Structure 1
Amino acid sequence: MILVTGGLGMIGAHTARALLDLGQEVVVTAYRRTEVPSFLAGRVAVEVLDTTDRDALLALGNLYDLTGIVHLAGSIPGDDPVDFFRTDLTGLLNALDAARAWGVRRFAVASSLGVYLGRSEIPWHEDLALPTVDLPHLIIAFKKAVEPITTHALQGSDVEPVLLRIGSIWGPLMDPESPFNPIPAYVSAVLRGETPLPLSPDEGGDSCYAPDAGRAIALLATADSLHHTTYNVSAGRPSTNRDLTAALEAITPGPQVPPRPERDSDPGDKPYLDITRLTEETGFSPRFDAAAAVADYVAWRRKNPR
């Protein structure tokens, strides 16, 4: 059985679904959001606990035969950066404690494409040396620190670390007003019959639909063998706002989508993740292009608030 912490969040829930589809038994932890999405209802064990509670987390080993961990639980920074770092670091260390105590086979943990910021090469690949730069967000700073903490913490154990450099993920269960991706808010406005704010047509870069990201993570968590520690998780191709608006125009009636501005940049100069390593070692390839992702998301949002 595989434990997915933060398993009712967007990426966690889609990872849990993909693991189930691969024939795995799954238990998820939930804390802030405990509503089980329809595609997981009756299929997973749900444990409501805070991963910063070490005793509660380690007690799961008495309830389940856990053979792997996918650690995706995290918080949103508030006004106090130290409090954010303390919370998420405590959760990470507790999950690492659990991995060693239970003797799981593999410990996969969320990092971020943001670790590559400062590299000019496109696409970004795992062999690039990570630069020392000012990072734009506390979450990215923490994710960058997650990598050496995880690998050093598991040294001397039989637990295999897997660092997931996750790209720009969007899809069902994402906060429709998330500041991290413009697509959900744009689609929400269209579904309300409103005119969304125009998006620069050639802005974009890395983008991956959540079900694809979840499947990639599930494949890494269950692969018979892996040859590396670090893997990019995304669609492996850039996309643009032009792709989004074209896909929406194809499936939504009426003139809700504003006219596209003139081309303002070269879409080829936007960073995105190279997933060659992921594909070669797991057989992963994305199932959703922009049109399929938008169609699936619109169908989901017509029945769900997020």
Structure 2
Amino acid sequence: MILVTGGLGMIGAHTAQALLDLGHEVVVTTHRRTEVPSFLAGQVTVESLDVTDREAFLALGERHDISDIVHLAGSIPDEDPVDFFRTDVTGLLNALDAARTWGVRRFAVASSLGAYVGRTEIPWHEELPLPTAQLPHLIIAFKKAVEPLTTHSLQGSGVQPVVLRIGTIWGPLVDPESPFFYIPPYISAVLRGEQPKPLYADDGGDCCYASDAGRAIALLTTAETLRHDTYNVSSGRPYTNREFAEALQAITPGLKLDLLPGRQAGPGADPYLDITRLTHDTGFEPTFDVAKSVADYAAWRTNNPR
């Protein structure tokens, strides 16, 4: 059985679904969310767990025979950065403690494409040394710290770490008014019949549909062998705002979306993740391009608030 912490969140739920599709039993943990997505209902074991509670975390191993862990649980910072770091570091350390205690095969953990902030090369690939740079958000700072904490904690344990440098993920279960990626609010405005604020046509960058990201994580968790400890998780294809606008217009009769010409910051290119390593070691190829993902998401939102 594979444990997915934060398994009712967007990425966690799609990872759980992909693991089920691969024939694995899955137990997911949740702390605040109670609603199980329709595509998981009746298929996964749901455990209520505060990952900062070490004893409760370790007790999961008494109820389930857990072979691998995918640690995706996390919190959102408030006005106290120390409290945020304390919460998420404690959760990470408890998950690592469980991995060592249970002797699992593999421990996959969420990092972020934000770890590359400061690199000017495009696309970003795993062999780039991570720079010392001013980071734009506390979550990115934590995700960057996750990497050495995980690899050093598991050294010599027999548990293989898999650091997931996850790209810009969106799709079913994403916050429709996400403050972290402007495309979901843009699409939500169109679905409400509103005219969204114009975007620059050639801006864009990294983007991956949630079901593709979940499948990539599932493949990395279950692959017979992995040659590396760190993998980019995304589509490997840069997008532009023009593509999103055209996809929305294609599925919405009479819709006319205004786009500003060029790029907001002038000539150049936006960074995105290279997934050559992921594809080589797992065979992963994205299923959803922009047009297909927009159509799928619009259909999902017909009967779902997020």
After TM superposition, the score normalised by the length of structure 2 is: 0.98
Matches of 1:267 and 1:215 in 2, distance apart?
Answer: 34
CA contact (8 A) 2:202 2:261 kept: no
Matches of 2:253 and 2:186 in 1, distance apart?
Answer: 15
Aligned pairs (5 A) from 1:3-18: 3-18=3-18
SS at match of 1:186: helix
Matches of 1:36 and 1:264 in 2, distance apart?
Answer: 40
Aligned pairs (5 A) from 1:216-295: 216-255=216-255, 257-264=256-263, 269-295=269-295
CA contact (8 A) 1:17 1:40 kept: yes
Deviation sequence 1:104-155 (CA, Å, 0-9, x none): 0000000000000111000000000000011110000000000000001001
SS at match of 1:28: strand
Aligned pairs (5 A) from 1:1-306: 1-255=1-255, 257-264=256-263, 269-306=269-306
SS at match of 2:107: strand
Matches of 2:268 and 2:25 in 1, distance apart?
Answer: 41
Identify which range, 184-193 or 290-299, moves more after superposition. Answer: 184-193
Give the Å deviation of 1:269.
1.1
CA contact (8 A) 2:178 2:184 kept: yes
CA contact (8 A) 1:240 1:267 kept: no
Matches of 2:302 and 2:268 in 1, distance apart?
Answer: 33
Matches of 1:20 and 1:184 in 2, distance apart?
Answer: 27
CA contact (8 A) 2:6 2:74 kept: yes
Give the Å deviation of 1:186.
1.1
Could you list the runs of 5+ residues in structure 1 that have no partner in the other structure? none
Could you list the runs of 5+ residues in structure 2 that have no partner in the other structure? none
Identity %: 74
Deviation sequence 1:241-271 (CA, Å, 0-9, x none): 111000000001233x432222236786110
SS at match of 1:59: helix
Matches of 2:281 and 2:38 in 1, distance apart?
Answer: 31
Amino acid at match of 2:179: P
SS at match of 2:157: coil
What do you get for the CA RMSD once the two structures are aligned?
Answer: 1.1
Amino acid at match of 1:289: D
Amino acid at match of 1:207: C
65 and 267 in structure 1: CA distance in 2 versus 1, 3 angstrom threshold: farther
Identify which range, 53-62 or 261-270, moves more after superposition. Answer: 261-270
Give the Å deviation of 1:67.
0.2
Amino acid at match of 1:260: L
Amino acid at match of 2:56: A
SS at match of 1:110: strand
Deviation sequence 1:209-249 (CA, Å, 0-9, x none): 00000000000000000000000000001001111000000
CA contact (8 A) 1:209 1:288 kept: yes
Deviation sequence 1:74-120 (CA, Å, 0-9, x none): 00000000000000000000000000010000000000000001110
CA contact (8 A) 2:203 2:262 kept: no
Matches of 2:224 and 2:242 in 1, distance apart?
Answer: 39
CA contact (8 A) 1:203 1:267 kept: no
Matches of 2:154 and 2:134 in 1, distance apart?
Answer: 28
Give the Å deviation of 1:156.
1.8
Matches of 1:33 and 1:210 in 2, distance apart?
Answer: 18
Matches of 1:140 and 1:290 in 2, distance apart?
Answer: 25
How many matched pairs? Answer: 305
Matches of 1:78 and 1:247 in 2, distance apart?
Answer: 36
Matches of 2:11 and 2:305 in 1, distance apart?
Answer: 17
CA contact (8 A) 1:204 1:267 kept: no
CA contact (8 A) 2:232 2:278 kept: yes
